[in-house]
Structure 1
Amino acid sequence: MATRVQLLSRTAAASLLGLALLANTACSRQDAAESESRRVTLVTVSAAAEARRAPDIATLSTGVLTLAPDANGAIRRNAEQMTRVVAAIRAAGIAAKDVQTSGVSLNPDYQYLANRPPRIKGYYASNTVNVTVRDIGRLGGILDALVATGANQINGPTFDIEDKDAVLDEARGKALDKARARAEGYAKRLGLRVRRVISVDETGGRNAPGPVYARAVMMEQAAAGNASAPIAPGENVLGLSLDVVYELGK
């Protein structure tokens, strides 16, 4: 009787052990499946995009360079001409905040002769201002008025977009679309899917300025009494690059 009870006990124990092994195997398989489902692949893609807009502001540098036999005369003559130039700028409707002095200088004009030390034969005085024009359509007329009132130095214009945020947002959206499409391509080839964005890193925001009309041509046309100097603002380009990290998985 004792022997039979021992056999039953051993059989029960073996059965329990078998059930425990089966349970452990099932758990191991479930853990493996869950681990596989949690396994992720990270992919980093780069994308660049641009957006174009017609510029709405222009900046230029203008001023007066005068020559006189003495320093006081050069400064005085320069101040008289520059006063007329600034008055023309204000008369053109340019706000005071858009006019800023960029340089005032006084330099000797040397005469060089063979075997003799250089001597000062006069003085150059210069005064220049930076001007922001917010109505590009009037830029040609403004340039004409500057030359007509005594400006003999003009550099520019350089064209720009005052509010860049909307343009950059457009470029940003295009870059994100490109990045997502590339991530989807990687995922498809790997038999995975795009789960989520891990990070976005933005660089750039570059600005390619519009064309600059040659200073000499503008002054020559204005001095000849031609119609307003032709201005071609073209388009400005704003662009940026994105590095986007995506999580891929089953």
Structure 2
Amino acid sequence: MFGSGAVRAEPSLARVRPAVDVLEPSPEQAFQRAGEAVARLREVLRRHGVPDASVSGSRLGLSSEYDGHARGRTLLGYRCQASYAVETGALDDLERLIADVVDAGAHRIDGVEFDVRDRPALLDEARRRAVAAARRKAQVYAEAADARLGPVLHIQDVEAEPVAAFRASAAGGPPGALAPGAVEVSARVVLGFSLRH
């Protein structure tokens, strides 16, 4: 018998994904300009109280960039990129943080995700609800078949790694505000029961 359960909670943290992306005539200039942007980015994050441990990033990557194809292509320069994941619990300050990060030299924001710190506890509750839903359904079928529900013989997760989904909130905050909405953690299960007559 299949059952699903979900738990919704207010987000307790956000992950912002800024990236530095520069194009310069030489590798040295590209590395220098990207390095300066990264340093400014780190300084802004520290000013916002984001510890270095809450920032994970890639190394500076360098690639040649061309315009055109085959023999007609021309070298545009050298592109240097670095992307970061910044985790913060200061949700009320999130819009200001993003604006300051962009002002400091982040050339784009690749995403903003909301999450909860205690996801394992929410997942446990979602699994309990999934089992309860499967049991209720099995009870109805057993009664309709003039049988009694016996013990559980089999339990199987439908998904090996249940994930948290973000549900945006339509209300709250001024127009254009980053409204975090709710994080939903769901689980699905298949239970096998014995039947007694």
Q: Same fold (TM over 0.5)?
A: yes
Return closer, same or farther for 1:142/1:173 CA change in 2, 3 Å cut-off: same
Deviation at 1:111, TM superposition (A): 4.5
1:5 is matched with which residue?
none
Q: Tell whether the 8 Å contact from 2:31 to 2:60 is kept in structure 1 after alignment.
A: no
Aligned residues: 189
Residue of structure 2 in register with 1:214 after alignment: none
CA distance in 2, matches of 1:171, 1:112: 53
Preserved CA contact (<8 Å) 2:166 2:181: no
Which digits, 9 at most, give the CA deviation of each residue in 1:85-116, with x for residues without a partner?
Answer: 11111221112111112252222343549x96
* Larger Rg computed on CA atoms: 1
Among candidates 167, 174, 180, match of residue 233 of structure 1: 180
Does 1:247 pair with 2:194? yes
Counterpart mapping for 1:186-197 below 5 A: 186-197=141-152
Which of 117, 127, 131 in structure 2 is aligned with 1:162? 117
Gaps of 5+ in 2: 169-175
Q: 1:148 aligns with which of 85, 103, 128?
A: 103
For residues 86-125 of structure 1, the aligned pairs below 5 Å read 86-112=42-68, 117-125=72-80
Q: Which runs of 4+ in 1 moved over 4 A?
A: none
* Aligned: 1:206 with 2:145: no
Cα shift readout 1:186-238 (whole Å, capped 9, x = no counterpart): 32233322232222222232322345xxxxxxxxxxxxxxxxx7212111221
Question: Is the partner of 1:84 in helix, strand or coil?
Answer: helix
CA-based RMSD: 2.5
8 Å Cα contact 1:63-1:82 kept in structure 2: no
Structure 1 residues 119 and 50: CA distance shift in structure 2, 3 A: same
- Answering whether residue 139 of structure 2 is matched by residue 139 of structure 1, we say no
1:159–1:210 Cα contact (<8 Å) kept: no
User: Partners of 1:103 and 1:209 in 2: how far apart?
Assistant: 29
Match of 2:19 in 1: 63
- Tell whether the 8 Å contact from 1:160 to 1:210 is kept in structure 2 after alignment: no
The answer to which structure has the higher strand fraction is: 2
Identical residues among aligned pairs (%): 26
- SS across alignment from 1:170: helix
Cα deviation code 1:52-96 (max 9, x no counterpart)? 112222212213222322221121122112211111112211121
Answer 1 or 2: which has greater helix percent.
1
